[in-house]
Amino acid sequence: MARVFSGVQPTGALHIGNYLGALRQFEAAPGHLYCIVDWHAITEPHDPAQLHRGTLHVASAMIALGLHEESVLFVQSHVPAHVELMWYMTCTGTMGELQRMTQYKAKAKGRRSVSVGLFAYPLLMAADILLYRTEKVPVGEDQRQHVELTRDLAERFNSRFGETFVLPEAVMPPAGARVRSLTKPLEKMSKSDPDPDSKILLLDSPDEIRRKIKKAVTDTGREIRYDPQEKPGISNLLEIQSAFTGEPISKLEEMYAGKTYRELKEQVAEVVVEGLRPLREKMEAIAAHPGEIEGILKEGAEKAAALAEPMLKEVRQKLGFLERLPS
Ligand code: AMP
Ligand code: TRP
């Protein structure tokens, strides 16, 4: 079975973009690894208490999805191998490659100072993926470029030092790979957006979900059709409904012919409320037992570290480092 690896940053409350683009695609199969990437979460100034809470929050979602039962669920900072491999990636990638990353350009734009960590972040992500000989990386559209960079780095390393790394591939869902903000539908829905009405959180109550969708920015005109250029707000709602129900967007367009924006919003709200209900209830139950969450993560870290060690050993050898003394 193809090795799957994916990571989610514990930088804030999870929203339906994280769910539809990433978490929902995560399969609880043996040999798959799901990581809470806390080292990625400090590339921007952060609040330590929030990092701690956020880590348990992301873990509660992964556990609610049952990922710990068959797969390895762990916290990145519990497996130091990730930073060692990152250093090798740092010496493999180039400044030019990192400067071309869309996400970096967007985040650095107009700022006088950004951390080296924000710039180098894709190299840490490459290390996460390559460490486990990953073949498939389920992620949202915004991460496609980082996975492509990972392939380039792996190819470069392999051609310099001999076949070592597996070339990974990003996997994206047919709908929901890029959920847009409810208030600014030209932008993606984002954990870091300070406007609470821009996103639907996995832990939002049914009434909050209904209120936010009712307030969602729509477009001029009255026709309900999928056209992300001309009608980004309506298209986003159609895509959310399609992602939750599995119905193709063309079918939804037929269904909504002659209907009003209000009717669309009411339907979408119900689909989202019901789609999230079981997950929210499980997450709340799990969050009440942080000790159990930590136990699961500890066990996961041991398994991940054992999988990472032979890979690192091979990489050190290929690079010409002297063998370490057994500890
Ligand atoms: P992050 O919050 O950046 O750690 O994202 C975790 C996962 O959710 C990654 O696979 C992202 O690509 C995905 N993701 C984040 N925001 C969205 C969005 N608005 N739509 C779809 N996927 C998303
Ligand atoms: N960079 C990803 C994000 O912001 C999170 C991430 C880190 C990741 N390492 C990864 C995703 C490895 C997939 C595989 O969403």
**Domain segments of the chain as ranges:** 4-176+289-319, 196-285
* Measured distance CA(251)–CA(164) in Å, rounded: 46
Distance 22 CA to ligand 2 centre (A): 10
Residue 269: its H or E element: helix 261-287
Distance 138 CA to ligand 2 centre (A): 9
Name the residue among 282, 287, 276 with its Cα closest to residue 17: 276
Distance 7 CA to ligand 2 centre (A): 4
In contact, 85 and 123? CB cutoff 8 Å = no
State residue 302's pLDDT score: 98
Residues in contact with ligand 1 by the CB-under-6-Å rule are: 8-9, 17-18, 20-22, 139-140, 142-143, 177-179, 188-189, 191
In eight-state DSSP terms, residue 89 is: H
* Measured distance CA(258)–CA(277) in Å, rounded: 30
Residue 69: its H or E element: helix 67-70
Q: What is the CA radius of gyration of the chain?
A: 21
State residue 53's pLDDT score: 98
What average pLDDT does the segment 121-150 reach? 98
* Measured distance CA(307)–CA(254) in Å, rounded: 50
Q: What pTM was estimated for this model as a whole?
A: 0.97
- pLDDT at 326 > cutoff 80: no
In contact, 151 and 168? CB cutoff 8 Å = yes
Residues in contact with ligand 2 by the CB-under-6-Å rule are: 5-7, 9, 37, 40, 125, 128-129, 137, 139, 143, 146
Name the residue among 195, 237, 194, 201 with its Cα closest to residue 218: 237
Same fold, 4-176+289-319 and 196-285: no
- pLDDT at 82 > cutoff 90: yes
* Measured distance CA(121)–CA(108) in Å, rounded: 13
Positions annotated as catalytic residues are: 107, 188, 191
Residue nearest (by alpha carbon) to ligand 1 atom 15:
18
Query: CATH top-level class for 196-285?
Result: mainly alpha
* Measured distance CA(27)–CA(9) in Å, rounded: 18
- pLDDT at 98 > cutoff 80: yes
In the three-class reduction of DSSP (H, G, I as helix; E, B as strand; rest coil), residue 111 is classed as coil
Question: Which ligand 1 atom lies nearest to the CA of residue 142?
Answer: 12
Max CA separation in the chain (angstroms): 74
C-alpha 99 chain-centroid distance: 21
Q: What is the pLDDT of residues 265-283, one digit of tens each?
A: 999 999 999 999 999 999 9
Residue 214: its H or E element: helix 206-215
Q: What is the pLDDT of residues 185-223, one digit of tens each?
A: 999 999 999 999 999 999 999 999 999 999 999 989 999
State residue 54's pLDDT score: 98
In the three-class reduction of DSSP (H, G, I as helix; E, B as strand; rest coil), residue 233 is classed as helix
Superfamily of domain 4-176+289-319: HUPs (3.40.50.620)
- pLDDT at 327 > cutoff 70: no
Q: What is the pLDDT of residues 220-270, one digit of tens each?
A: 999 999 999 999 999 999 999 999 999 999 999 999 999 999 999 999 999
Q: What is the pLDDT of residues 27-80, one digit of tens each?
A: 999 999 999 999 999 999 999 999 999 999 999 999 999 999 999 999 999 999
Tokens encoding 64: 């609610």
Query: pLDDT category, 323, cuts 50, 70, 90?
Result: confident
